[in-house]
Amino acid sequence: MYGGGNTFEAQQMGGVENEDPIKLAEFEARIARGEKIEPNDWMPALYRKQLIRMIEQHAHSEIIGALPEGTWITRAPGFKRKLALMAKVQDEVGHAQLLYSAAETLGKPREKMIDDLLSGKSKYSNIFNYPTFTWADSCFISWLVDAGAIVNQLANSKGSYGPYCRALERICAEESFHLKYGHHCVIHMATGTPRQRKMMQEALNRWWGPMMHFFGPPDKASVHTEILVKWKVKMATNDECRQQFLDMYVPKIWELGLNIPDPNLKKNPETGEWEYTEPDWEEFKRVINGDGPCNAERLAVRRVAEERGAWVRKALLKPEAAYTTPLA
Amino acid sequence: MQSLDPRVNRLPIPESWGELRAKTPLDQLETYEVFHQAKPDKAFEHAGIVHAPNDDMAFLFGKEQYSRRGNTCSGIWTVATHKVMVTPYTEGDTSLYDLFEGEQQHAAQTEAYEIFHLKKRGKQHVHAGTVQASSYDDALAVAQATLNDGKMVYNAWVIKSSDFFKSNAEDVDMWNTLYEKKYREAIDYRAQDKINQFKEEQNLQNHG
Amino acid sequence: MDNLALKELLYKMADDQLILGHRNSEWTGMGPILEEDIAFSSMAQDKVGQSQQLYILLNQLGEAEPDTVAFMRNAEQFHNCQLVELPNGEYDFSLIRHFLFDHAEWLRFEALSNSSYEPLAQLARKYKGEIKYHLIHANTWIKQLGNANEETLARLKQSLHELAPYALGIFEPSPYETQLISEGIFIGEEALKARWIESVNAILAQTALGAFNWSASNAILGGRQGKHSKHLQPLLDEMSEVFKMDPTADW
Q: Closest Cα of chain B to C119: distance in Å?
A: 17
CA-based torsion, B179, B180, B181, B182: positive or negative = positive
User: What are the chain C neighbours of A82 within 8 Å (beta carbons)?
Assistant: 48
* Distance, CA of C26 to CA of C41 (rounded, Å): 9
Cβ atoms C233, C75 nearer than 8 A: yes
**% of chain A surpassing 90 pLDDT:** 87
Q: Which of A222-236, A280-294, B15-29, B45-59 has the lowest mean pLDDT?
A: A222-236
Asked if pLDDT for residue A7 goes beyond 90, the answer is: no
- Over residues A194-206, the pLDDT tens digits come to 999 999 999 999 9
Residue range C103-128: average pLDDT? 98
H, E, C per residue of chain A: CCCCCCCCCCCCCCCCCCCCHHHHHHHHHHHHCCCCECCCCCCCHHHHHHHHHHHHHHHHHHHHHHHHHHCCHHHCCCHHHHHHHHHHHHHHHHHHHHHHHHHHCCCCCHHHHHHHHHCCCCCCCHHHHCCCCCHHHHHHHHHHHHHHHHHHHHHHCCCCEHHHHHHHHHHHHHHHHHHHHHHHHHHHHHCCCHHHHHHHHHHHHHHHHHHHHCCCCCCCCCCCHHHHHHCCCCCCCHHHHHHHHHHHHHHHHHCCCCCCCCCCCEECCCCCCEECCCCCHHHHHHHHCCCCCCHHHHHHHHHHHHHHCHHHHHHHCCCCCCCCCCCC
Which pLDDT band, with edges at 50, 70 and 90, does C236 fall under?
Answer: very high
Residue B118 burial (CB < 10 Å; 0-12/13-18/19+)?
buried
Cβ atoms A155, C206 nearer than 8 A: no
Cβ atoms A163, A105 nearer than 8 A: yes
- Number of cross-chain residue pairs from A and C with Cβ atoms under 8 Å apart: 127
Q: Closest Cα of chain C to B16: distance in Å?
A: 20
Give me the tens of pLDDT residue by residue for chain B, a chain 208 residues long: 789 999 999 999 998 888 889 999 999 999 999 999 999 999 999 999 999 999 999 999 999 999 999 889 999 999 999 999 999 988 888 999 999 998 999 999 999 999 999 999 889 999 999 999 999 999 999 999 999 998 999 999 999 999 999 999 999 999 999 999 999 999 999 999 999 999 999 888 887 6
List of chains touching B (3+ CB pairs within 8 A): A, C
Q: Which of A227, A173, A242 is nearest to A14 (CA)?
A: A227
Averaged confidence pLDDT in chain B = 94
Q: Which of C14, C219, C207 is nearest to C95 (CA)?
A: C207
Among the partner-chain residues A75, A90, A311, the one whose CB lies closest to the CB of C38 is A90
* Distance, CA of A52 to CA of C116 (rounded, Å): 59
Cβ atoms A189, A139 nearer than 8 A: yes
Contact B65/C38, CB-based, under 8 Å? Answer: yes
* Distance, CA of C163 to CA of C84 (rounded, Å): 10
- Over residues A64-120, the pLDDT tens digits come to 999 999 999 999 999 999 999 999 999 999 999 999 999 999 999 999 999 999 999
Contact A315/C49, CB-based, under 8 Å? Answer: no
- The interface pTM score, or ipTM, of the predicted complex is 0.97
Asked if A259 is an interface residue toward chain B (Cβ–Cβ < 8 A), one would say no
Averaged confidence pLDDT in chain C = 97
Q: Closest Cα of chain C to B111: distance in Å?
A: 29
* Distance, CA of C137 to CA of A238 (rounded, Å): 44
pLDDT at residue A243, as a whole number: 97
pLDDT at residue C101, as a whole number: 98
Asked if A109 is an interface residue toward chain C (Cβ–Cβ < 8 A), one would say no
Among the partner-chain residues B10, B50, B174, the one whose CB lies closest to the CB of C35 is B50
Cβ atoms B31, B50 nearer than 8 A: yes
User: What are the chain B neighbours of C136 within 8 Å (beta carbons)?
Assistant: 60
Residue B18 burial (CB < 10 Å; 0-12/13-18/19+)?
exposed
Which pLDDT band, with edges at 50, 70 and 90, does C231 fall under?
Answer: very high
Which pLDDT band, with edges at 50, 70 and 90, does A6 fall under?
Answer: very low
Residue range A223-236: average pLDDT? 88
Residue type present at position C228: H
Contact C249/A75, CB-based, under 8 Å? Answer: no
* Distance, CA of A261 to CA of B12 (rounded, Å): 39
Q: Which of B74, B65, B67 is nearest to B31 (CA)?
A: B65
pLDDT at residue A2, as a whole number: 60
Q: Closest Cα of chain A to C177: distance in Å?
A: 30
User: What are the chain A neighbours of B68 within 8 Å (beta carbons)?
Assistant: 90
Residue range A272-285: average pLDDT? 96
Among the partner-chain residues A87, A304, A327, the one whose CB lies closest to the CB of B86 is A327
Look up residue C88 and give its DSSP letter: -
Interface test with B, best of A187, A196, A254 (most B CBs within 10 A): A187
User: What are the chain C neighbours of B57 within 8 Å (beta carbons)?
Assistant: 140, 144
Residue type present at position C83: L
Q: Closest Cα of chain B to C166: distance in Å?
A: 22
Asked if pLDDT for residue A1 goes beyond 70, the answer is: no
Q: What is the CATH number of domain C3-245?
A: 1.20.1260.10
Contact B29/C33, CB-based, under 8 Å? Answer: yes
Q: Which of B117, B149, B96 is nearest to B43 (CA)?
A: B117
CA distances from C69 to A77, C43, C50, C75 (A): 13, 22, 14, 12
Asked if pLDDT for residue C1 goes beyond 80, the answer is: no
A 148-177 residues inside an 8 A Cβ radius of B: 162, 165-167, 173-174, 176-177
B 163-182 residues inside an 8 A Cβ radius of C: 171-177, 181
- Over residues B79-125, the pLDDT tens digits come to 999 999 999 988 888 999 999 998 999 999 999 999 999 999 889 99
Asked if A200 is an interface residue toward chain B (Cβ–Cβ < 8 A), one would say no
Interface test with C, best of A82, A142, A317 (most C CBs within 10 A): A82
CA distances from C105 to A272, C101, C124 (A): 60, 6, 10
Contact B28/C26, CB-based, under 8 Å? Answer: no
Asked if pLDDT for residue A3 goes beyond 80, the answer is: no
pLDDT at residue A8, as a whole number: 47
CA-based torsion, C109, C114, C117, C123: positive or negative = positive
Q: Which of B134, B158, B141, B72 is nearest to B102 (CA)?
A: B141
Among the partner-chain residues C30, C129, C140, the one whose CB lies closest to the CB of B176 is C129
Contact B191/A184, CB-based, under 8 Å? Answer: yes
- Can you spell out the DSSP letters for C110-175? HHHTT-SSHHHHHHHHHTHHHHHHHHHHHHHHHHHHTTT-HHHHHHHHHHHHHHHHHHHGGGPPPT
List of chains touching A (3+ CB pairs within 8 A): B, C
pLDDT at residue A12, as a whole number: 57
Contact A318/B54, CB-based, under 8 Å? Answer: yes
* Distance, CA of A40 to CA of B86 (rounded, Å): 10
**% of chain A surpassing 70 pLDDT:** 95
Q: Which phi and psi (to 5°) does residue C78 adopt?
A: -90, 145
User: What is the length of chain C?
Assistant: 251
Task: For residue B206, give every residue at least 6 positions away whose Cβ sits within 8 Å of its Cβ, in sequence order, or none.
Answer: none
Contact B82/A322, CB-based, under 8 Å? Answer: yes
Asked if A121 is an interface residue toward chain B (Cβ–Cβ < 8 A), one would say no
Task: For residue B86, give every residue at least 6 positions away whose Cβ sits within 8 Å of its Cβ, in sequence order, or none.
Answer: A40, A327, B155, B156, B157
In this structure, how many other beta carbons lie within 10 angstroms of the beta carbon of residue A267?
A: 15
Contact C144/B175, CB-based, under 8 Å? Answer: no
CA-based torsion, C65, C67, C70, C76: positive or negative = negative
In this structure, how many other beta carbons lie within 10 angstroms of the beta carbon of residue A26?
A: 13
Contact C42/B173, CB-based, under 8 Å? Answer: no
Q: Which of B57, B14, B166 is nearest to C32 (CA)?
A: B57
A171 alpha carbon, distance to own chain's centre: 11
Residue range C168-182: average pLDDT? 97
pLDDT at residue A55, as a whole number: 97
C 38-77 residues inside an 8 A Cβ radius of B: 38-39, 42, 45-46, 49
User: What are the chain B neighbours of A27 within 8 Å (beta carbons)?
Assistant: none
The secondary structure element, H or E, covering residue B15 is: none
The secondary structure element, H or E, covering residue B32 is: strand B30-37
In this structure, how many other beta carbons lie within 10 angstroms of the beta carbon of residue A268?
A: 9
Contact A101/B186, CB-based, under 8 Å? Answer: no
* Distance, CA of A122 to CA of B157 (rounded, Å): 34
Q: Which residue of A has its CA nearest to B20?
A: A119
C 55-94 residues inside an 8 A Cβ radius of A: 66-67, 70-71, 90-91
Q: Which residue of B has its CA nearest to C131?
A: B174
CATH class of A8-300: mainly alpha
